Amino acid sequence: KAGVTQTPRYLIKTRGQQVTLSCSPISGHRSVSWYQQTPGQGLQFLFEYFSETQRNKGNFPGRFSGRQFSNSRSEMNVSTLELGDSALYLCASSLAPQGGYNEQFFGPGTRLTVL
Amino acid sequence: TQLLEQSPQFLSIQEGENLTVYCNSSSVFSSLQWYRQEPGEGPVLLVTVVTGGEVKKLKRLTFQFGDARKDSSLHITAAQPGDTGLYLCAKGAYGSGNTGKLIFGQGTTLQVKP
């Protein structure tokens, strides 16, 4: 089975621009979660989508948004980029629809640099 | 706040040495995962522990879940340079509206020198 894929792997943007990142989950996985990883804050939860609905959201501003398509692929969007948005953005997919062990399988991430 | 505290934050050892990484919380976990992450890559799931007192082994790695399910440890025997990486513990943030959210510890950066 193919793992979680994320595109692009690297991205350089300037302040004020917007960006869209893409994630394809493992086949059969319907839950997709997004995380931001920075050296100072570590891994922080952004949001989770299940069956095209946002089921959970972390403490990030409204500039961060996402969506999920009927094939479970997900995108996240960051508008009006700030320098502090530079991070590794990780997507994870999970088989469990709710609760359970919540084992999540991560993609390689998208490294976003904001200049 | 459902925090996970990992210790130590950094560890630099020689090949062949043993080490233990700890993960603690003030609240009970229903389950806990350990991940390993290499630079520029996503975390890779190593193990999930569920039952208090549970011990799982993965080659030279031994994972233990505390009896009270508030702590866990990862022990590596005879570390090798290939074990170098960031080790993360994570627990599910269960409860209303928290499905799908993992809370991570801050990680332990391990460097194994040949």
| Averaged confidence pLDDT in chain B | 90
pLDDT at A43: 94
Q: Under an 8 A CB cutoff, do B45 and A43 touch?
A: no
The pLDDT of B25-33, averaged and rounded, is: 85
Which residues, other chains included, contact B45 with Cβ-Cβ below 8 Å and sequence gap of 6+?
Answer: A103, A104, A105, A106, B33, B34, B35
> Could you give the CA distance from residue A19 to residue A11 in angstroms, rounded to a whole number?
9
B31: nearest CB among A92, A101, A107: A101
Mean pLDDT, rounded, for B63-79? 94
Instruction: Compare CB distances from B101 to A56, A90, A105 and report the shortest one's residue.
Output: A56
Whole-angstrom Cα distance, residue A115 to residue A20? 16
State whether A48 and B100 contact (CB < 8 Å).
yes
**Which of A17-26, B11-20, B50-59 is predicted least confidently?**
B50-59
Percent of chain B at pLDDT > 70 equals 92
User: A71 to chain B, minimum CA–CA distance in Å?
Assistant: 18
Nearest chain B residue to A45 by CA distance is B101
**pLDDT tens string A92-103:** 998 865 555 668
- Say how many CB pairs under 8 Å bridge A and B: 77
Is the CB of residue B2 less than 8 Å away from at least one CB of chain A? no
Tokens read off for A13: 């943007």
Instruction: Answer yes or no: do B48 and A4 touch at CB < 8 A.
Output: no
Q: Is A35 helix (H, G, I), strand (E, B) or coil?
A: strand
Spell out which residues of chain A touch residue B33, defining contact as CB-CB under 8 Å.
101-104
